[in-house]
Amino acid sequence: MENPVFRVHTPSEPMMKARKPSPCSIVIFGATGDLAKRKLIPALYHLTRDQAMPESFSIIGFSRTVPEATAFREELLRALSDFSPDPIDPEVWQRFESSIFTMQGSFTELESFHALKRYMDELDGTRQTKGNRLFYLATLPTFFPKILKSLKAAELVHPAGPPDQQPWTRVVIEKPFGHDLSSAIELNRLAASVLDERQTYRIDHYMGKETVQNILVFRFGNSIFEPIWNHKYIDYVEVTMAENLGVEGRGDFYDQTGVVRDIIQNHLLEVLTLCAMEPPVSFGADDLRDEKLKILRSLRPVTIDGLPKHAVFGQYRGYLDEKGVAPASRTPTFAAVKVMIDNWRWQGVPFYMRAGKRLPTKTTEVVIHFHPIPFCLFGREDVCQMLKPNVLRLRLQPNEGIELCFSSKVPGEDLNVADVTMDFSYARAFKKSPPDAYERLLLDAMRGDAMLFSRRDAVEAAWTFITPILKAWEEELDRGPQEYEPGSEGPLDSMKLLWSDGHAWRPLA
Ligand code: BG6
């Protein structure tokens, strides 16, 4: 179908050409887990289909219970059929499965890592993977320290060198990176004793989403938005990540984590920093990450006294009956946090973040509310009241796109005004849906491009802001989270948080 609003002109040559990664072995620690089956293996299969993988590669599934390769391949094929949006191409699958191997071993026994090294050396010979190694830590976070130490002790880590050095070693560490500021500092310290920062890839899959990366192109690839992207024009900003599902069998993990550690400390703060940061000096990894860091360091700390005016915690009705959840758990499944950014650009502009499970719909979006017009020309009070301030909505998922709402005269002799929307949809404009975030991030890790991964200082800055909020909630306050109905917009106090500033959330339903 022709796009009625936007015509798309793509230059024939990409502005920045992505390199093909060099041959390598990829070890997935936690290969039988949910993440590996739902996300990592499908992403690697799609990259194989799209001919984006290196010329030669091996994937080694490592865990205590992983079966031998043939049975594991069959398991993965079944999972792929369940989780891949497209039908599986038998020819591609055959090529892909021949690169999958397994290794049974314990994350806590050094001998397993020595055995892994012997196996990887052998595969390097038969599969021409040149000694390049990508380790993916997709296990429970409690195993991260042990695995990191054993990688070093078993001499699986090559020293870091210049960007094109071979053989190379890189380690992808899944979120949550730490449980609070002190554990994140500790994990960073440990990682730094094993790896160079250039080898450390702290992953937040939100950064791999096309729509999240497009925040940068939208802001810095157009001249019309930047002049109004500040407190003079913007009244307030909403950053929402709503899910309609509950904890879906992950009750024991979730009950230890909660929505603030699971979503706000990482995914939502990433999105917020991209919306708020200054233009970087270049599109290079460190220049971009320097600007993101400045925003994280400018977040105004929330004190214990200020907590009720800055944060709301909720729990959906029925959460306490989920498997793995403690009977009197206070773990929030919903949180709304008001954030102020203390710099020139954003003085006085609240950024409200909200995330929750069992809300009416699955949606992630940024909604930017502009100031009302300073003076109404049209005289009649009823018409003036109909003039709503402009709203720009970045739909990060689903139905990816961007819409701008503005006022328009309704045709006719009487003066009447309506809200209308200009709508850009990725699907309509580019006629394809964006690839899964893990595809891009795995490719970047293989290429050695760390731009979309979190740097040590940024992770600690994010925890510096979040930890006092968690501490106040977990240790100082004695009330529980507000209960909310599954399918509702969350607890009433979340609405009040904005109403008290004269603002309102965009309704989710
Ligand atoms: C993960 C969280 O990081 O993100 C999950 O641990 C959540 O609880 C998931 O469901 C949502 O990701 P997405 O890409 O579907 O928004």
Kindly report which listed range (2-11, 49-58, 318-327) carries the lowest average pLDDT score.
2-11
List, as one string, the DSSP characters of 10-44: --SS-SSPPPPPPPEEEEEETTTSHHIIIIIHHHH
Tell me the three-class secondary structure of 291-321, residue by residue.
HHHHHHHHECCCCCCCHHHHEEEEEECCHHH
pLDDT for the residue 5: 52
Band of pLDDT at residue 218, cut at 50, 70 and 90: very high
Pairing of strands 234-242, 350-356: parallel
pLDDT of 475 over the 90 cut: no
Region 93-111 average pLDDT: 95
pLDDT of 355 over the 60 cut: yes
Residue nearest to atom 2 of ligand 1 (CA): 262
Q: Quick one: 343 and 231 in the same domain? A: yes
pLDDT for the residue 13: 65
Q: Quick one: 355 and 415 in the same domain? A: yes
Residues with CB under 6 A from ligand 1: 243, 262, 364
At what angle are helices 285-298 and 269-276 packed, to 10 degrees?
100
pLDDT of 243 over the 50 cut: yes
pLDDT for the residue 385: 78
Instruction: State how many domains the chain has.
Output: 2
Query: Which CATH number belongs to the domain containing residue 73 in this structure?
Result: 3.40.50.720
Q: How far is the CA of 148 from the centre of ligand 1 (A)?
A: 25
The answer to whether residue 441 sits within a structural domain is no
- The CA R_g of the chain, rounded to the nearest whole Å, is 24
Atom of ligand 1 nearest to the CA of 243: 10
The answer to whether residue 180 sits within a structural domain is no
Which of 152, 174, 196 finishes a domain?
174
Most confident stretch, 68-82, 226-240, 430-444: 226-240
Which of 159, 174, 189 finishes a domain?
174
Mean pLDDT over all residues of the chain? Answer: 93
Pocket test for ligand 1, best of 35, 267, 436 (most atoms within 8 A of CB): 267
Provide the domain limits for residue 338. 207-436+454-499
Which of 156, 174, 192 finishes a domain?
174
Provide the whole-model pTM: 0.93
Residue nearest to atom 9 of ligand 1 (CA): 263
pLDDT of 3 over the 60 cut: no
Q: Quick one: 367 and 418 in the same domain? A: yes
In DSSP terms, 50 is beta-bridged to none
Residue 158 among the catalytic residues: no
Q: Quick one: 215 and 346 in the same domain? A: yes
Residue nearest to atom 13 of ligand 1 (CA): 206
Atom of ligand 1 nearest to the CA of 364: 16
Band of pLDDT at residue 136, cut at 50, 70 and 90: very high
Q: Give the model confidence (pLDDT) of 317-337 as tens digits.
A: 999 999 999 999 999 999 999
pLDDT for the residue 176: 87
Residue nearest to atom 10 of ligand 1 (CA): 243
The H or E element spanning position 439 is helix 437-447
The answer to whether residue 202 sits within a structural domain is no
pLDDT of 6 over the 80 cut: no
Band of pLDDT at residue 2, cut at 50, 70 and 90: very low
The answer to whether residue 182 sits within a structural domain is no
Q: Quick one: 306 and 158 in the same domain? A: no
Query: Which CATH number belongs to the domain containing residue 337 in this structure?
Result: 3.30.360.10
197: CB partners within 8 A, 6+ apart:
455, 456
Structure tokens at 307: 């907590």
Q: Quick one: 234 and 343 in the same domain? A: yes
**Could you tell me where the DSSP H helices lie in 346-436?**
381-386, 426-430
Pocket test for ligand 1, best of 240, 243, 334 (most atoms within 8 A of CB): 243
Q: How far is the CA of 345 from the centre of ligand 1 (A)?
A: 31
Q: Quick one: 110 and 252 in the same domain? A: no
The answer to whether residue 146 sits within a structural domain is yes
pLDDT of 506 over the 70 cut: yes
Pocket test for ligand 1, best of 140, 204, 205 (most atoms within 8 A of CB): 205
pLDDT for the residue 15: 63
Atom of ligand 1 nearest to the CA of 247: 8
Percent of the chain with pLDDT over 90: 83
Q: Give the model confidence (pLDDT) of 35-52 as tens digits.
A: 999 999 999 999 999 999
Band of pLDDT at residue 1, cut at 50, 70 and 90: very low
The H or E element spanning position 184 is helix 181-194
Atom of ligand 1 nearest to the CA of 397: 16
Q: Give the model confidence (pLDDT) of 298-307 as tens digits.
A: 999 998 888 9
Catalytic residue among 46, 267, 310, 369: 267
Q: How far is the CA of 461 from the centre of ligand 1 (A)?
A: 22
Q: Report the amino acid identity of residue 88.
A: I
**Could you tell me where the DSSP H helices lie in 351-416?**
381-386
Q: Quick one: 155 and 296 in the same domain? A: no
Atom of ligand 1 nearest to the CA of 209: 14
CA-based nearest residue to 425, from 214, 166, 186: 214
Q: How far is the CA of 365 from the centre of ligand 1 (A)?
A: 14
The answer to whether residue 106 sits within a structural domain is yes
The residue assigned the tokens 């002190």 is 182
Q: How far is the CA of 418 from the centre of ligand 1 (A)?
A: 37
What DSSP character marks residue 278? P
Q: How far is the CA of 142 from the centre of ligand 1 (A)?
A: 20
pLDDT for the residue 188: 97
Cα–Cα–Cα angle for 396, 399, 404, rounded to 5 degrees: 70
Pairing of strands 401-409, 417-425: antiparallel
Q: Quick one: 333 and 235 in the same domain? A: yes
Q: Quick one: 229 and 167 in the same domain? A: no
Contact, 139 vs 107, CB < 8 A? yes
The answer to whether residue 195 sits within a structural domain is no
Long-range contacts of 385-388 (CB under 8 A, 24+ apart): 386/416, 386/417, 386/418, 387/417, 388/419
Q: How many CA atoms lie within 13 A of 280 on its CB side?
A: 20
Residue 238 to residue 401: CA distance in whole angstroms: 16
Q: Quick one: 146 and 213 in the same domain? A: no
Band of pLDDT at residue 476, cut at 50, 70 and 90: confident
Region 102-109 average pLDDT: 95
In DSSP terms, 135 is beta-bridged to 27, 171
Q: How far is the CA of 254 from the centre of ligand 1 (A)?
A: 11
Q: Quick one: 129 and 234 in the same domain? A: no
pLDDT for the residue 317: 97
Pocket test for ligand 1, best of 40, 252, 262, 364 (most atoms within 8 A of CB): 262
The answer to whether residue 194 sits within a structural domain is no
Band of pLDDT at residue 250, cut at 50, 70 and 90: confident
